[in-house]
């Protein structure tokens, strides 16, 4: 019995050695069919995963829209569309390209002073005293 066991181990080992040395592997008659089934299973899993995430994203978008409606927030696409429409409307009668708007903080001194005043409102009283002493 021990002799049969060692012969089986030697046969298995020589068979594996033959494969490693580039020998012929045994051909599985159903290998092609099994590979196709495996590929199909992978495709199906991928489709299920994509459907799951699409459903989750749709639920999230519904929640986002509810929040936007509640607080009166517009989507980025809506804001961009409105800005583009306003630019087109402003330049409708003009033959030249529209002027670029001056960014906030780059223009009027009154506006800059109001920003300083706004910041000063949020400074705690002890710090405010230090500013007033100087």
| Per-residue model confidence as pLDDT tens digits over 17-71 | 555 566 555 567 788 899 999 999 999 999 999 999 999 999 999 999 999 999 9
Residue 59 is predicted with a pLDDT of 97
| DSSP states of 10-78 | HHHHHHHHHHHTT-PPPPPTTHHHHHHHHHHHHHHHHHHHHHHHHHHHHHHHHHHHHHHHHHTPPPHHH
Interval 104-110 mean pLDDT: 56
Tokens 């002493």 belong to which residue? 133
**pTM for this model (two decimals):** 0.38
């Amino acid at each position: 019995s021990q002799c049969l066991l060692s012969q089986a181990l030697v046969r298995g080992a020589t068979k594996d050695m033959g494969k490693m040395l580039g020998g012929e592997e045994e051909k599985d008659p159903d290998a092609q069919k099994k590979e196709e089934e495996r590929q199909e299973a992978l495709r199906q899993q991928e489709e299920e995963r994509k459907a799951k995430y699409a459903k989750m994203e749709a639920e999230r978008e519904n929640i986002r829209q509810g929040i936007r409606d509640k607080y009166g927030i517009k989507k980025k696409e809506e804001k961009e569309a409105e800005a583009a429409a306003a630019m087109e409307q402003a330049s409708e009668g003009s033959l030249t390209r529209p002027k670029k708007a001056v960014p906030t903080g780059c223009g009027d001194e009154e506006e800059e002073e109001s920003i300083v005043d706004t910041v000063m409102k949020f400074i705690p009283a002890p710090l405010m005293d230090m500013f007033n002493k100087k």
